[in-house]
Structure 1
Amino acid sequence: MSGAAIVASGLRKSFGDKVVLDGIDLDIAEGSIFSLLGPNGAGKTTTVHILSTLIRPDGGQVRIAGHDLANAPDDVRASIGVTGQFSAVDTLLTGTENLVLMAGLHRLGREAGRRRAEELLAQFDLTEAASKMASTYSGGMRRRLDLAMTLVGKPRVIFLDEPTTGLDPRSRRTMWQRIRELAADGVTIFLTTQYLEEADQLADRIAVLDQGTLVAQGTPDELKRRVPGGHVRLRFADVPSLDAAGRLLGRVSRDDEGLALQVPSDGGVRVLRQVLDRLDAAGVEVEELSVHTPDLDDVFFALTGHKQQEVVR
């Protein structure tokens, strides 16, 4: 990651009296996967529409792939790809025909367009289905074709809106792998998703948007450490060991039935090392240890006031 792919400063947008974006700032590194989370109506879609040149902001400055959004929108469009929540695949065409059609829109020559189509069909494991009508594809295959169509023009930045909605678990994980491969090749991914597990699995950095304002930004682990409730769970072989550990560690939660203690922790190595060093110095042996940290659902609730409602279709 050599620089910034997307930089936004003071981004604002209102519709009538409704303020949708209230001065948000973004700095997204090249070749990274960035996820924007937020409840319905938070301004996620508006943000993507502005960054992908579909609507104009009311204020603020944006640079995408080195191009100024206000002064060079055509250069921005040439640098980005957008895969929307709803598939752009023409089900009356074959996989090859969909890709060749997209190549024509990008003004690739006939031979170059066909070569690009063949490359993408192989990359997304669609070669065997290339001559079949897209209407016969499974949901996962159709979604992979949709993403392949976005890549025909070799964009440097891709906006993915709900890329795995409606897919079965295996297809979702296949799509995740394709997204990781794109980022490894230097493509910047801007991801919006209702699946918090998806953001946790994929994103290098996450921003949480609520009522038009960014309320938090950071890595998934950084955001989780901001939420109380993390702990280290220590299980012991017998009651004397449990009692000794309880006396040593002080204010901890005790589970007599499970012969376990819960020690408050932010999930970091420092606290864990301190706990184990104290027990080791006293000769108290730990039978089993596990670290529990809040998940992104806990983060979402703490920052926005309610749980994220995952969409299942």
Structure 2
Amino acid sequence: MSEQKPIGSRFNAASTAHDVVAEMDLSGKTAVVTGGYSGLGIETTRALAGAGATVIVPARNGEKAQRTLAGIERVIIETMDLADPASVAAFANRMVANDTPISILVNSAGIMATPLARDADGHESQFATNHLGHFRLVAGLWPALLKAKGARVISVSSRGHQIAPVDFDDVDFTKRAYDKWQAYGQAKTANALFAVGLDRRGEQHGVRAFSLHPGVILTDLARHLSEDEINSFDVYDENGNRRVDPSRDLKSPEQGAATSVWAATRPELNGIGGVYCEDCEIALPQSQADGNKGVASWAMDVEAAERLWTLSEQLTGQLLDTRK
């Protein structure tokens, strides 16, 4: 795990995903982008494919994926439902059977502030989808990631991780009253801790992991929010138009995808991993950052990351073979 401090990136909050890869050639590389056909995922897919990568987009809704990704070259749409363990396993098995190295995995799919729901195993849906689904996916794709000999796994977290740590005594809200924002905060903290735990296991094999905050962008992710809740984010100006002001963390989708693409591709991050990023830069710890920027101590805690890893193995039955 690398030190949580900026490295002097030449990109910033206003940079777009295209800016990040403008002079890069990703020809011959294969990327997988979950959620790659909606919101920030589309822009992530567009940027990686535009730089020459073949981008595999696993989709629960194949028709929507075909429609939204139409016209983007080098994109392959596959079937997968992140909330269905059997579907995740089937997708991963197909990818591994193809014997194609996966150089980039961007775990961008997710849900936010949803009403209480549980998966087939009884796990709270935000934790199950945002974290456990991606944990299963990484475990299933592990042989393909190893084969790339230099893969990067990107976990799209959120500044929402600052809301709550992982409550290991009641991760599924069976003892405490359900709060959709506490559940979201817990899931986003889990995304960051997953990057810490994965990087600790992957570094010796050339697999590095990163987590990040993309910015505040109004996408389908907000579909469960009320009008008042959306307005509280100040995403609309006085004329009802979407506000884009990167200095206030209000970004366009193209800007919101930039940090994912930056972490997935930039050579200046070679030899680095396990860190949380924002605005195309490694973020400071929250205690050292301005305003509400930075990463909370509980989202970078190695002991918590190991505890989450053990819990995730127990809940999914998935183990990584990290023997050298």
Normalization by structure 1: what TM-score? 0.30
More strand by share: 1
More helix by share: 2
Normalization by structure 2: what TM-score? 0.29
